[in-house]
Structure 1
Amino acid sequence: MATYIIIGITAVISYICFTNQGLFDKLAFSPYRTVKNGEWHRLITHGFVHADTTHLLVNMLTLWSFGVYIEQGFQYLGLGLGGYLGLYFGGMVAASVYDLIKHKDDYYYRSVGASGAISAVLFTSIFFNPFGKILLFAIIPIPGILFGPLYLIYCQYMNKRGGGNINHNAHFYGAVYGIIYPILLEPGLIQVFLSNF
């Protein structure tokens, strides 16, 4: 249920921001304004804003594909709604920390989108079901345990290469958070992961 609420709220706010530049600017992640003006809400609000319809649709489709499963899994394991929201919003914050430090003096740097949070959800699903299939390029099914390392290597490569408008740091750190978070919540879950092998 929470996954559908997040998708609905994100879709509405993103849609409004497509034509409301003032609101877009107030919600976008600006490390400079976050630190200098104490606008810490931006660590969360930027996840409700997307650059365009394609960005929004891809993120929300991915969240729907994995979030419903993970939300149910957290309920089943007794980690509850709070545990799931901690994954999603914690992933959003964790994915932003690197850029917060790196760009805190860059007035012009901006970032939007829920990619860090969604990477966290996706990688938690790999943690729980490492041999579950993920569609590479939305076509080729490969096991999550293979997709995960390839994805992390790709993110690091693209980040070093530079250019483009995709925040590969957010993807990378959100993914790492998604692997670590379940173990922090319940250390015994490492046995669940290992038992899948």
Structure 2
Amino acid sequence: MSITLILIILTSGVSIYAWSHQDLLDKWVFHPFSVNKKNQWYRFVTSGFLHADWTHLFFNMLSLYFFGEVVERVFMASFGYEMGIALYLLIYLGGMIIADIPTYIKHKKDFDYRALGASGAVSAIIFSSILFNPLNLICLFAFICMPGFIFGFVYLIYSYYQGQRMGGGINHSAHFYGAVFGFVVSFLLLPGSGVNFIEQIGAWRLPFFN
């Protein structure tokens, strides 16, 4: 079984269990105030295995399924099975942690602020995949499709803008920083991927110019 599927099963199981066990949800949710006052640093990771509802869980795990398999194969092909898994987890768990650091700094004295979800980790995996395959089509709402590098550009701008506005009750800054982490660390781990990324984009043409 792939590490991507293991993460999906584990995250889904924990999320579903926590919906009916409020004590676990309270203990594991990302609560910057508790991290700051009680040194509960584990919340940076445990909160990434919790989700607010079925919709939140479904879209995160669906995205992880489609993009995670690509990243997993690239790392295993380049570094071997064990090291490939370790580096894949570095991207996933590292994205999960790094994505929440700006949120922690901003809300560490805010008792009422809480956050949960694997969005930062999943964003890291998505942008690692975009680095490796920038021309693969990514579709929004099943009918708005665009090459990955264009999607990534739009995603970063939107996430940064919404993060400044704190729009919609969603932690958009986690999406932004997770995405940047996944792209940059993957680039550093596989330097040739940068050249491949640029070459693929350079060869891309709009469909009506082909």
Alignment TM class, shorter chain as reference: over 0.9
SS of match in other structure, 2:115: coil
Name the counterpart of 1:71.
72
- Deviations along 1:143-167, whole A, 9 cap, x unmatched? 0111111111111222233342211
Q: CA deviation at 1:139?
A: 2.1
Aligned equivalents of 1:162, 1:134: Cα separation in 2: 25
Aligned equivalents of 1:191, 1:157: Cα separation in 2: 29
Name the counterpart of 1:117.
121
Aligned equivalents of 2:199, 2:25: Cα separation in 1: 45
The equivalent position to 1:177 in structure 2, one of 177, 181, 184, is: 181
The equivalent position to 2:98 in structure 1, one of 94, 97, 122, is: 94
SS of match in other structure, 1:71: helix
Aligned equivalents of 1:3, 1:66: Cα separation in 2: 9
Name the counterpart of 1:48.
49
Name the counterpart of 1:128.
132
Letter paired with 1:2: I
In the alignment, structure 1 segments of 5+ residues that lack a partner are: none
- Give structure 1 regions of 4+ aligned residues with deviation exceeding 6 angstroms: none
Q: CA deviation at 1:29?
A: 0.6
Name the counterpart of 2:206.
none
Aligned equivalents of 1:186, 1:69: Cα separation in 2: 14
Q: Is the Cα–Cα contact under 8 Å of residues 102 and 173 in structure 2 kept in the other structure? A: yes
Q: CA deviation at 1:129?
A: 0.8
CA shift in 2, pair 1:111/1:156, >3 Å:
same
Name the counterpart of 1:147.
151
- Deviations along 1:101-127, whole A, 9 cap, x unmatched? 111111111000000000000011111
In the alignment, structure 2 segments of 5+ residues that lack a partner are: 203-210
Give TM-score scaled by structure 2 length: 0.90
Name the counterpart of 2:208.
none
Letter paired with 1:9: L
Q: Is the Cα–Cα contact under 8 Å of residues 131 and 193 in structure 2 kept in the other structure? A: no
Name the counterpart of 2:142.
138
Q: Is the Cα–Cα contact under 8 Å of residues 29 and 50 in structure 2 kept in the other structure? A: yes
Q: Number of residue pairs matched?
A: 197
Name the counterpart of 1:157.
161
Give the structure with higher Rg (CA): 2
Identity across aligned pairs (percent)?
A: 47
Name the counterpart of 1:167.
171
